[in-house]
Amino acid sequence: MNEDRRCGLYIRVSTERQVAEGESLDEQEERLREFCKVRNWKVVKVYKEEGKSAKDTNRPAFKELLRDVENGLIDTLVVKKLDRLSRSIVDFEKIYNFLQNHHVDLVSLHENFDTTTAIGRAVVRIVMVFAQLEREQTAERTLDVMEHRAREGLWNGGYPPLGYDLKDGKLIVNPEEAKVVKLIFEKYLEFASYTKVAKWLNEHGYKTKEFISRRGKKQGGSDFTDTYIARVLKHPVYIGKIKYKGKLYEGQHTPIIDEKTFNLVQEIIKSNYKRTSSVKRQIKHNFLLEGLLKCGFCGAFMTPTWAKSKGRRYFYYECTTNQHKGRGTCEGGSIRADLMENLVLEKMREISQNEILLYRLVHNASAEAKAKVNKLEEKRIILKLRIKELEDKGRKYTRQLVEIKGKAAERFLLKEIEEIDKQLKELERELETVETEIQRWKEYILNTELIKESFKYFSKIFPQLSPPEQKGLLKMLIKEIVFTPSQINIYFFEMPEEEIRLNLPKAVGFEENFKWLPGQDSNLQPMG
């Protein structure tokens, strides 16, 4: 095979497989590198996928691989086993055709074939058919076993729920935790609110169930949240039932809650759901900063919410910690959504019209990136020239080795050739790093150009977009917004050295008008 191949190594391990077989990313990479080294193939990039299943192609490193194939970065893809790439014959067919269309060969160590031969291409499809068949049969057997266990009244849900321990595959009541479960049901009948129950438990020092994960890590033992309370209250396991695929089976375990109490709680939950669903259908607010706005005290996202006063509905962003664990848990509080959004949009419009600030935010970053690319390009040229010099020198010594006679001269030339080979490998590794950096900075330049144009025409573009598109544009320009009652920091896109931000001191109620001009260190300072 051609010895000038540019190889990409794709390695993947799912959590389940890593636990079962002790297989690791490092072990896969080492074997693939050894394989390429023997054949004098150059490894230009390694694509690492950790804890990702191959049942579909929605994997970050895999998507990066496809982009590099399109850009011609590699001409050979090497994997340990075909199922590392895909377990679905349908997905594999698409992957294989994609590689073929871009003239990229596929090599698998385990199956011992490559797609440069007709036999190799046929074997690929045959192996994947059997891999798909085996996976489907395994899934069917697993589902059959789980359904059988449910019918027998045995627990199927992994770690046991609060109130129970697991012994010999059966649920056993944990007396201390069972008291907490009963408290949860009692308090919900009193408060009719997940959040209020969670807050009461946290204030009285109760914690969630503690357990040791399969990886030996301690889990749980934390504060209660509204979602945790909801799971407990809705779970039929507490009345001695096992739920599987929407059906209830009589369990072998002892119930903690009587059915009358459980059913009464379900009625309250249902009633609350109908009331909140009816109100939500009346609520119309886009919450443009959803997913961007964070609490400056605890770091949690600020979640959209609403309140009603004197017949009028007001919309807010509230610290998620307070929503899940009860108001007052975090001092971050909440902020009126319309005032917050108007303030941010106004600042975005001012930036788009401020040539000096826009230049500083975007142009400087792009110019710095271009300067880095230029330096790297110079370094790449020097490295290539040095590599060529060494290759020419190596060929010269090789010719002399064939022509000379005498062991002394032969030993000298062999030593020189070995040293040249060592230097070449070091230079090639350095060249690989430089080329990767060049590609990264070029992508950055493209991004900054797009951001500059988006900023420049923000005022014209934004009103014409749909609410989802408006959210998308803001997320492209803004990394995050951190809110405290005294200050709001808007962090823009990633910069090469440090993040550029706007410090916006809070006006009372956000109702006072401010004028803004560029200040020192890329901050906007209030005037007068």
Q: pLDDT 10s digit of each residue in the chain, 528 long? A: 455 789 999 998 775 444 344 457 888 888 899 888 888 889 999 998 876 665 566 788 899 999 999 999 999 999 988 778 776 665 776 788 788 889 898 888 876 666 656 556 665 655 555 555 555 665 665 566 677 777 888 887 678 899 999 888 789 999 999 999 999 999 998 888 888 899 899 989 999 988 776 666 778 888 998 889 999 999 999 999 988 877 888 889 999 999 999 999 998 888 877 655 545 545 567 888 888 888 888 888 888 887 777 767 788 888 888 777 776 778 777 788 888 888 888 888 877 777 666 666 666 666 777 788 888 888 888 888 888 888 888 888 887 777 776 667 777 778 888 888 888 888 888 888 888 888 777 766 655 666 666 676 677 778 877 777 788 778 777 778 888 877 788 877 654 333 444 444 433 333 333 222 222 223 322 222
Residue 304: what pLDDT? 85
CB 175 within 8 A of CB 188: no
Which H or E element spans position 373?
helix 364-403
Q: What is the pLDDT of residue 515?
A: 27
Task: Please tell me the predicted confidence (pLDDT) of residue 502.
Answer: 43
CB-side neighbour CA atoms (13 Å) of 226: 15
- Residues 244 and 146: their CA atoms lie apart, in Å, by 8
Core vs surface per residue 6-37: b (16+ CB within 10 A) or e: bbbbbbbbbeebeeeeebebeebbebbbebbe
- Contact call for residues 302 and 483 (beta carbons, < 8 A): yes
**Residue positions annotated with a catalytic role:** 14
Angle of helix 194-203 relative to helix 226-234, nearest 10 degrees? 110
d(CA 196, CA 305): 16
Residue labelled with tokens 């109490």: 261
